[in-house]
């Protein structure tokens, strides 16, 4: 939900639009170990300078990690300088338009199953509690601007007659397949957001509508 991370992910994927760079990336990530500039250039039939340039651009975009190793196995004086090598990073890159938050749903569902197995409490009850607690935490950290927080979370909020309608569901695919589970989770998440923000002007209710999130924030009477 970090807009800076999303911007970085978009920039990283844009770096793969260059065909030679994409070929180098695909070659490196298929290898079992780190790859040198010389190895990559030889494998793809590129000039060493060209391979080095594009590999460094991939590293700058965080698409590849750089490590330094001595391939000779020797150490100490006379062992030579370590070689600059490239490998697949641990970092994941995800970009979706409109925004989706399937990782968040997976985290909440996994917590619910784990806690339910440990305590015997029904999974759905645990899921609702976990979602509310997370929403409360998000609301407490989100400042006083409800619209800005909802926008950051990918809900695309709009005001209609004092209510806040959410034009995008960050869990859309899951909600279509499992509406009772996911919409209930979403409802308690947003109730938690209101609680965390101390927002008494709105109430989160289920109000399914075509092309919108299943939750609506109704203006208090």
Domain boundaries, the chain: 3-87, 102-219
What string of DSSP letters covers 12-23?
Answer: HHHHTTSHHHHH
Q: Which helix (H) or strand (E) holds 218?
A: strand 215-219
ω into 149 cis (within 30 of 0): no
pLDDT, one tens digit per residue, over 80-130 is: 678 899 999 887 766 666 678 888 999 999 999 999 999 999 999 999 999
Q: Report which DSSP code applies to 61.
A: T
State the pTM of this model.
0.67
pLDDT surpassing 80 at residue 140:
yes
Average pLDDT, the chain: 87
Class of domain 102-219: alpha beta
CATH number of 3-87: 1.10.10.10
The pLDDT of residue 3 is: 55
Query: Residue 86 forms beta bridges with which residues?
Result: 35, 66
Length of the chain: 221
More reliable by pLDDT, 211 or 200: 200
Q: How far, CA to CA in Å, does 220 sit from each of 163, 193, 198?
A: 9, 16, 13
**pLDDT-derived band at 54, boundaries 50, 70, 90:** very high
What string of DSSP letters covers 69-114?
Answer: E-TT---STTS-PPEEEEE--S------SS---HHHHHHHHHHHHH
Cα separation, 15 vs 21, in Å, equals 8
Contact status, residue 88 vs residue 29, Cβ threshold 8 Å = yes
pLDDT surpassing 70 at residue 74:
no
pLDDT surpassing 60 at residue 211:
yes
The pLDDT of residue 48 is: 93
Lowest mean pLDDT among 2-6, 202-206, 212-216: 2-6
The pLDDT of residue 183 is: 96
First to last CA, the chain: 32
Lowest mean pLDDT among 65-69, 126-130, 181-185, 209-213: 209-213
């Amino acid at each position: 939900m970090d807009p800076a991370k999303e911007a970085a992910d978009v920039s990283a994927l844009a770096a793969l639009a260059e065909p030679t760079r994409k070929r180098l990336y695909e070659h490196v990530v298929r290898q079992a170990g780190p790859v040198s500039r010389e190895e990559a250039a030889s494998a793809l039939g590129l000039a060493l300078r060209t391979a080095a340039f594009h590999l460094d651009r991939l590293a700058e975009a965080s698409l590849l990690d750089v490590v330094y190793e001595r391939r000779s196995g020797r150490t100490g004086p006379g062992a030579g300088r370590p070689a600059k090598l490239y490998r697949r990073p641990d970092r994941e890159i995800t970009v979706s338009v409109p925004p989706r938050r399937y990782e968040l749903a997976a985290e909440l569902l996994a917590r619910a199953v784990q806690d339910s197995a440990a305590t015997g409490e029904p999974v759905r009850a645990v899921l609702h509690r976990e979602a509310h607690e997370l929403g409360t935490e998000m609301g407490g950290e989100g400042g006083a601007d409800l619209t800005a927080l909802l926008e950051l979370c990918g809900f695309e909020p709009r005001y209609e007659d004092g209510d806040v309608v959410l034009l995008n569901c960050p869990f859309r695919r899951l909600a279509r397949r499992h509406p009772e589970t996911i919409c209930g989770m979403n409802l308690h998440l947003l109730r938690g957001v209101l609680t965390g923000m101390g927002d008494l002007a709105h109430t989160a209710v289920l109000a399914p509508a075509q092309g919108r999130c299943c939750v609506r924030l109704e203006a208090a009477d």
